[in-house]
Structures are given as C-alpha cells and as structure tokens.
Structure 1
C-alpha cells in the first residue's frame, strides 16, 4: 500500500511550512514546530517531516543498494517498509550523524525467522560520506541525506516519533 500525501494528510494537502529546512543550524538546537511524524516514500525517494497534518520539511533520500521491496533479512540491501518509531540517535556516526528506527519490528522478525535468516538491524536516517554521490542507492538499507540535512533532522526529530515507510 502506498501512503500518499493526500491520504496521510486527511484528504487535503497542507501547505508546506519548511520552517526548519534549508537552514544550516548553528547548533543542534531547533525551535520550530514539533515533528510528529516522518513519511518516506521509497519510489519517489522522498522523506516528509510532519507537524500534525503540515509538511514542515521535505528531503530526497538515497536508499539501500537493492531498494525494490521490503527489507527481509540482513544483507539484502533493502530499505524496510512499514511502521516504525525513532528509537535511537548517534552523534558519532560514521555517516556524520544518524537517527535510528525500530527495525526490525515483530512482523520483520517473524518473516526472517520463517526463512531461517537473521532480520538485520541498525537502520538509520544518516548523512553521506564524500565518496558517495547523492542520487544513488548505496546504503545497506538505511536512508541517506546530505550531511547538512541530517544536522537539521537530528535537531528536529525526537525519540518516539512515528515513521511510515511505503514502497
């Protein structure tokens, strides 16, 4: 099932505020509207940060090296699909900064177990190293943005924020 902006936002598109986007933070502080949800649409390579029904920020994301379909097991190169929450933050990530999601959930673990494979883990939104060109799918299953963008996301998003990832 694809989550469209229209369905997610209750049938009417709210105008983007983009208050936090494209500002290079002087520190990892943010004083804009709270981020109450994150929506990633893999086919469009887009991530929306929402406050209620309002899109406050939008970013292009690079995905896993094998992006079509949901993540099924460790090493498959896919980015997960489904409902997760932000559950960890890493200020010392090898990819500048990172914000983790709760993959694998119970459904992911059951599917991988049925195949006799480990589900994998450590799925993050993170920055991009200088040797990786933007606009390519290169991660092991994470969602990569520019280093400037992950600084904004890191400052804006709190643990417990819902994350929906659709095909």
Structure 2
C-alpha cells in the first residue's frame, strides 16, 4: 500500500498538483548486530508524525496516516494516540488531514481517504469505533497501480 501511495505522490508532483513526502520515523541505533548488512537494534526516539505530509497546489498543507487491514473493518484504534494528536494539531492549524486506508484482500480490497474529522468521531457518526467498507463508501478512491488518494479532495 505504501508503494502505491508513493507512486501517486510522484504522479501528483509530476503533474504539479501536490508535493507529498513520506515522513521517516526518528530512531537511534542501539547496537549494530550485523555490520555490513544493515541489521541493527534500534529504538524509536520521537513522537509519531503522520505517515505523509505535503502541500497541495494553492498552498494548503495535507497530512495523513496510511493504514491497512485484511479484516472486514478498520478499527479507530489503529491510529495511535500520538498520531491522533499530531493530526489534531495539523487540523487546528488549517491543514487538510486524513486517514488513507485499505480494507480487505485480493479482489475484495478497496481504498478510502477518510477525513480526520470523520475518523476521530466515528463512534458518534456510525455508533461504533470502527468503519466497514459500507460505512466508508463515500470516501472510496480509485486504485490501479497507485492509490489516487487526492482525486476526491
């Protein structure tokens, strides 16, 4: 899923629609366990930021988490408290914030770009702290070789 999002990011940038980048997770190497092969023991050192951040044409910031499940529903809790706090803060500053999610497997896989306001209040909107594909249908986005996550925004 991440590679499909990155492919769309390249396409959107090439077309002058947006520049969106994957945010690296901050970490510190604790011990090199296999020199030369890139294997190490690490510890994450910073608060989680949204997976992707960038700027849409016209200057609006966008930030979103990417989540995937093979189940028939995606739970609100897959977004950690730290990630939720970061999305909330970006929203308060005027950014467009979302959770891009994939639900299902194989031919039964669908992708959605769910606004953060909807995600954080799904218990009020849907009566439970998860979303099914039926709940999320209005946020479905097209996917082929890439996930066209900006097409409905």
**TM-score of the aligned structures, taking structure 1 as reference length:** 0.25
Larger gyration radius, structure 1 or structure 2: 2
- Which has the larger helix fraction? 2
Q: Which has the higher contact order (CA 8 A, sep 6+)?
A: 1
When normalised by structure 2's length, the TM-score is: 0.26
